[in-house]
Amino acid sequence: MSKRIDVGDLNVYYGNFLAVEGVSMAIEPRSVTAFIGPSGCGKSTFIRTLNRMHEVIPGARVQGKVLLDGEDLYGPSVDPVTVRRQVGMVFQRPNPFPTMSIRDNVLAGMKLNSNRMSKSAANEVVERSLQGANLWNEVKDRLDKPGSGLSGGQQQRLCIARAIAVQPDVLLMDEPCSALDPISTLAIEDLIGELKQNYTIVIVTHNMQQAARVSDRTAFFNIAGTGKPGKLIEMDDTTKMFTNPSVKATEDYVSGRFG
Protein backbone atom coordinates (compact mmCIF):
# COMPACT_ATOMS: atom_id res chain seq x y z
CA MET A 1 0.00 0.00 0.00
CA SER A 2 2.92 2.37 0.00
CA LYS A 3 3.54 4.22 -3.20
CA ARG A 4 6.42 6.13 -4.75
CA ILE A 5 6.27 9.81 -5.58
CA ASP A 6 7.98 11.41 -8.55
CA VAL A 7 8.12 15.16 -8.77
CA GLY A 8 8.95 16.75 -12.07
CA ASP A 9 10.07 20.39 -12.38
CA LEU A 10 7.59 21.74 -9.85
CA ASN A 11 7.06 25.47 -9.31
CA VAL A 12 4.87 26.67 -6.46
CA TYR A 13 3.30 30.13 -6.51
CA TYR A 14 1.46 32.21 -3.95
CA GLY A 15 -0.40 34.55 -6.27
CA ASN A 16 2.39 35.95 -8.44
CA PHE A 17 5.11 35.18 -5.93
CA LEU A 18 7.25 32.19 -6.89
CA ALA A 19 7.87 30.40 -3.60
CA VAL A 20 9.56 27.19 -4.75
CA GLU A 21 11.25 26.78 -8.12
CA GLY A 22 12.11 23.81 -10.28
CA VAL A 23 12.02 20.90 -7.84
CA SER A 24 12.49 17.41 -9.27
CA MET A 25 12.91 14.40 -7.05
CA ALA A 26 11.98 10.77 -6.56
CA ILE A 27 10.65 9.57 -3.21
CA GLU A 28 11.02 5.83 -2.72
CA PRO A 29 8.27 3.71 -1.16
CA ARG A 30 8.81 2.18 2.28
CA SER A 31 11.49 4.66 3.16
CA VAL A 32 11.85 7.87 5.10
CA THR A 33 12.76 10.97 3.15
CA ALA A 34 13.77 14.05 5.15
CA PHE A 35 13.64 17.67 3.95
CA ILE A 36 16.10 20.00 5.64
CA GLY A 37 17.00 23.61 5.05
CA PRO A 38 16.79 27.05 6.64
CA SER A 39 13.45 28.64 7.56
CA GLY A 40 11.50 30.10 4.67
CA CYS A 41 13.22 27.98 2.04
CA GLY A 42 9.97 26.34 0.97
CA LYS A 43 10.20 22.91 2.62
CA SER A 44 6.75 23.16 4.19
CA THR A 45 5.28 24.73 1.06
CA PHE A 46 6.71 21.93 -1.01
CA ILE A 47 5.58 19.10 1.27
CA ARG A 48 2.06 20.52 1.24
CA THR A 49 1.98 20.29 -2.56
CA LEU A 50 2.41 16.51 -2.22
CA ASN A 51 -1.19 16.17 -1.00
CA ARG A 52 -2.54 19.44 -2.40
CA MET A 53 -2.89 20.94 1.07
CA HIS A 54 -1.33 24.18 -0.17
CA GLU A 55 -4.58 24.85 -2.04
CA VAL A 56 -6.20 25.70 1.30
CA ILE A 57 -4.30 28.99 1.13
CA PRO A 58 -5.99 31.40 -1.29
CA GLY A 59 -3.92 32.12 -4.38
CA ALA A 60 -1.59 29.14 -4.03
CA ARG A 61 -0.99 27.15 -7.23
CA VAL A 62 1.60 24.92 -8.83
CA GLN A 63 3.16 24.23 -12.21
CA GLY A 64 4.72 20.87 -12.95
CA LYS A 65 3.98 17.28 -12.19
CA VAL A 66 3.63 15.22 -9.04
CA LEU A 67 3.17 11.54 -9.81
CA LEU A 68 1.90 9.06 -7.23
CA ASP A 69 2.85 5.66 -8.64
CA GLY A 70 2.69 7.23 -12.09
CA GLU A 71 -0.66 8.99 -11.60
CA ASP A 72 -0.61 12.76 -11.80
CA LEU A 73 -1.96 14.44 -8.64
CA TYR A 74 -2.59 17.59 -10.63
CA GLY A 75 -4.36 15.90 -13.53
CA PRO A 76 -7.33 17.77 -14.98
CA SER A 77 -10.12 15.89 -13.20
CA VAL A 78 -8.34 14.92 -9.99
CA ASP A 79 -10.23 15.78 -6.82
CA PRO A 80 -7.92 17.05 -4.06
CA VAL A 81 -10.13 15.25 -1.53
CA THR A 82 -9.30 11.89 -3.13
CA VAL A 83 -5.60 12.78 -3.15
CA ARG A 84 -5.66 13.58 0.55
CA ARG A 85 -7.28 10.25 1.37
CA GLN A 86 -4.17 8.56 -0.05
CA VAL A 87 -1.57 11.00 1.17
CA GLY A 88 -2.05 11.68 4.89
CA MET A 89 -0.44 14.48 6.83
CA VAL A 90 0.72 15.21 10.36
CA PHE A 91 1.23 18.83 11.32
CA GLN A 92 3.72 20.82 13.32
CA ARG A 93 1.38 21.41 16.24
CA PRO A 94 -0.70 18.53 17.52
CA ASN A 95 -4.30 19.24 16.50
CA PRO A 96 -6.73 16.65 17.83
CA PHE A 97 -10.39 17.62 17.41
CA PRO A 98 -11.41 19.17 20.74
CA THR A 99 -15.04 18.10 20.45
CA MET A 100 -14.17 14.42 20.08
CA SER A 101 -13.02 11.66 22.39
CA ILE A 102 -9.73 9.85 21.83
CA ARG A 103 -11.61 7.03 20.11
CA ASP A 104 -13.53 9.40 17.85
CA ASN A 105 -10.35 11.25 17.00
CA VAL A 106 -8.79 8.04 15.72
CA LEU A 107 -11.94 7.29 13.75
CA ALA A 108 -12.27 10.88 12.53
CA GLY A 109 -11.27 10.00 8.97
CA MET A 110 -14.23 7.59 8.75
CA LYS A 111 -16.69 9.41 10.98
CA LEU A 112 -16.29 12.79 9.28
CA ASN A 113 -16.90 11.13 5.94
CA SER A 114 -19.93 9.32 7.39
CA ASN A 115 -18.57 5.92 6.46
CA ARG A 116 -20.67 3.33 8.21
CA MET A 117 -18.72 0.63 9.97
CA SER A 118 -19.60 -2.01 12.51
CA LYS A 119 -18.65 -1.51 16.11
CA SER A 120 -16.21 -4.40 16.06
CA ALA A 121 -14.54 -3.13 12.90
CA ALA A 122 -14.29 0.34 14.47
CA ASN A 123 -12.77 -1.12 17.64
CA GLU A 124 -10.27 -2.99 15.53
CA VAL A 125 -9.27 0.16 13.63
CA VAL A 126 -8.90 2.08 16.88
CA GLU A 127 -6.71 -0.56 18.45
CA ARG A 128 -4.61 -1.15 15.33
CA SER A 129 -4.03 2.58 14.77
CA LEU A 130 -3.23 3.34 18.38
CA GLN A 131 -0.91 0.32 18.56
CA GLY A 132 0.69 1.57 15.36
CA ALA A 133 1.23 4.97 16.94
CA ASN A 134 2.60 3.45 20.16
CA LEU A 135 -0.20 5.04 22.15
CA TRP A 136 -2.48 2.10 22.86
CA ASN A 137 -1.08 1.18 26.26
CA GLU A 138 -1.30 4.75 27.50
CA VAL A 139 -4.89 5.44 26.49
CA LYS A 140 -6.68 2.08 26.25
CA ASP A 141 -8.48 2.70 29.55
CA ARG A 142 -9.72 6.15 28.66
CA LEU A 143 -10.72 6.02 25.03
CA ASP A 144 -13.88 8.00 25.79
CA LYS A 145 -12.05 10.92 27.38
CA PRO A 146 -11.39 14.04 25.25
CA GLY A 147 -8.26 13.96 23.13
CA SER A 148 -7.28 17.44 24.28
CA GLY A 149 -6.62 16.05 27.78
CA LEU A 150 -3.51 14.22 26.61
CA SER A 151 0.02 15.58 26.85
CA GLY A 152 1.56 17.27 23.81
CA GLY A 153 3.55 14.20 22.80
CA GLN A 154 0.57 11.92 23.25
CA GLN A 155 -1.59 14.32 21.24
CA GLN A 156 0.90 14.21 18.39
CA ARG A 157 0.91 10.41 18.46
CA LEU A 158 -2.89 10.55 18.49
CA CYS A 159 -2.71 12.67 15.35
CA ILE A 160 -0.42 10.10 13.77
CA ALA A 161 -2.87 7.35 14.76
CA ARG A 162 -5.66 9.40 13.19
CA ALA A 163 -3.62 9.77 9.99
CA ILE A 164 -2.77 6.05 9.68
CA ALA A 165 -6.30 4.93 10.60
CA VAL A 166 -7.44 5.73 7.06
CA GLN A 167 -4.54 3.65 5.69
CA PRO A 168 -2.93 6.18 3.37
CA ASP A 169 -0.19 5.27 0.91
CA VAL A 170 2.05 8.12 1.96
CA LEU A 171 2.44 9.93 5.27
CA LEU A 172 3.69 13.51 5.22
CA MET A 173 5.04 14.98 8.46
CA ASP A 174 5.63 18.70 8.72
CA GLU A 175 8.02 19.19 11.62
CA PRO A 176 6.13 16.69 13.77
CA CYS A 177 8.47 17.02 16.76
CA SER A 178 9.14 20.74 16.87
CA ALA A 179 6.57 21.33 19.63
CA LEU A 180 7.63 18.32 21.69
CA ASP A 181 10.14 17.52 24.41
CA PRO A 182 13.07 15.13 23.79
CA ILE A 183 11.32 12.09 25.30
CA SER A 184 8.22 12.51 23.14
CA THR A 185 10.49 13.24 20.16
CA LEU A 186 12.25 9.94 20.75
CA ALA A 187 8.89 8.14 20.89
CA ILE A 188 7.86 9.68 17.57
CA GLU A 189 11.21 8.91 15.94
CA ASP A 190 10.95 5.27 17.01
CA LEU A 191 7.46 5.27 15.59
CA ILE A 192 8.68 6.65 12.26
CA GLY A 193 11.18 3.80 12.11
CA GLU A 194 8.36 1.30 12.53
CA LEU A 195 5.96 3.04 10.17
CA LYS A 196 8.36 2.95 7.26
CA GLN A 197 7.81 -0.82 7.04
CA ASN A 198 4.41 -0.03 5.61
CA TYR A 199 4.33 3.59 4.50
CA THR A 200 6.21 6.04 2.39
CA ILE A 201 7.19 8.75 4.84
CA VAL A 202 8.25 12.30 4.09
CA ILE A 203 9.35 14.43 7.01
CA VAL A 204 10.29 18.09 7.24
CA THR A 205 12.63 18.86 10.09
CA HIS A 206 14.80 21.64 11.40
CA ASN A 207 16.73 19.21 13.49
CA MET A 208 19.60 17.80 11.46
CA GLN A 209 20.38 15.12 14.00
CA GLN A 210 16.81 13.99 13.63
CA ALA A 211 17.11 13.85 9.87
CA ALA A 212 20.31 11.83 10.24
CA ARG A 213 18.65 9.49 12.77
CA VAL A 214 15.40 8.69 11.04
CA SER A 215 15.78 9.16 7.30
CA ASP A 216 17.09 7.03 4.48
CA ARG A 217 17.37 9.88 2.03
CA THR A 218 17.72 13.59 2.67
CA ALA A 219 16.88 16.57 0.51
CA PHE A 220 18.46 19.95 1.20
CA PHE A 221 16.50 23.07 0.26
CA ASN A 222 17.94 26.55 0.26
CA ILE A 223 17.03 30.08 -0.62
CA ALA A 224 19.27 32.67 -2.22
CA GLY A 225 17.80 35.60 -0.30
CA THR A 226 14.55 37.14 0.90
CA GLY A 227 11.99 37.32 -1.89
CA LYS A 228 13.85 34.74 -3.96
CA PRO A 229 12.33 31.32 -4.58
CA GLY A 230 13.44 28.27 -2.60
CA LYS A 231 15.25 25.56 -4.52
CA LEU A 232 16.22 21.96 -4.06
CA ILE A 233 19.99 22.05 -3.76
CA GLU A 234 20.82 18.41 -3.37
CA MET A 235 19.20 15.08 -2.61
CA ASP A 236 21.03 11.89 -1.78
CA ASP A 237 21.34 9.06 0.71
CA THR A 238 21.33 10.45 4.22
CA THR A 239 24.74 9.03 5.12
CA LYS A 240 26.29 10.62 2.05
CA MET A 241 24.52 13.95 2.67
CA PHE A 242 25.90 14.18 6.18
CA THR A 243 29.41 12.89 5.48
CA ASN A 244 30.34 13.75 1.96
CA PRO A 245 27.82 16.00 0.21
CA SER A 246 28.61 17.00 -3.33
CA VAL A 247 27.50 20.65 -2.96
CA LYS A 248 29.41 23.12 -0.80
CA ALA A 249 26.21 24.77 0.54
CA THR A 250 24.96 21.44 1.86
CA GLU A 251 28.22 20.80 3.64
CA ASP A 252 28.12 24.27 5.18
CA TYR A 253 24.58 23.75 6.37
CA VAL A 254 24.91 20.25 7.80
CA SER A 255 28.19 21.06 9.49
CA GLY A 256 26.62 24.11 11.12
CA ARG A 257 28.78 26.66 9.35
CA PHE A 258 25.67 28.65 8.54
CA GLY A 259 21.95 28.57 9.18
Partner 1 sequence: MSVATKPPAQNSLAHNQLPRYTTQLVLVASAAAGAGVSALWGGFSIVSFAVLSVLIFVIVNTVLSAVVEGRRKAVDKLVTSLVYTAFGLALVPLISVIWSVLDNGTARFSMDFLTTSMRNVTGLNDQEALEGAAPFIGGAYHAILGTFLITALATLISVPIGLLTSIYLVEYGRGRLARSITFFVDVMTGIPSIVAGLFAAALFAVLFGVGTRNGFAGAVALSVLMIPVVVRSSEEMLRIVPNELREAAYALGVPKWRTIVKVVVPTAISGIASGVTLAIARVVGETAPLIVTAGFTSSINTNPFSDWMMSLPAYVYSQALRPLSGSSPQPSFDRAWAAALTLILIVMLLNLVARLIARLFAPKTGR
Footprint on this chain of partner 1 (rule: CB under 8 A): 51, 53, 56, 58, 81-86, 88-89, 91, 93, 95-99, 108-109, 111-114, 142, 145-146, 148-150, 159, 162-163, 166
Query: Is 55 or 252 the residue whose CB approaches partner 1 more closely?
Result: 55
C-alpha distance from residue 151 to each of 3, 44, 109, 180 (Å): 32, 25, 22, 10
Query: Is 56 or 183 the residue whose CB approaches partner 1 more closely?
Result: 56
Query: Is 10 or 89 the residue whose CB approaches partner 1 more closely?
Result: 89
CB of 75 to partner 1, least distance (A): 17
* N-term to C-term CA, the chain: 37
Query: Is 113 or 244 the residue whose CB approaches partner 1 more closely?
Result: 113
CB of 80 to partner 1, least distance (A): 8
CB of 47 to partner 1, least distance (A): 11
CB of 74 to partner 1, least distance (A): 17
Work out whether strand 217-223 and strand 200-204 pair parallel, antiparallel, or are unpaired.
unpaired
Nearest-angstrom CA–CA distance, 230 and 21: 6
Specify which residues 50 forms β-bridges with.
none
| Residue 65 near residue 72, CB atoms below 8 Å | yes
What is the DSSP annotation of 45-64? HHHHHTTTGGGGSTTEEEEE
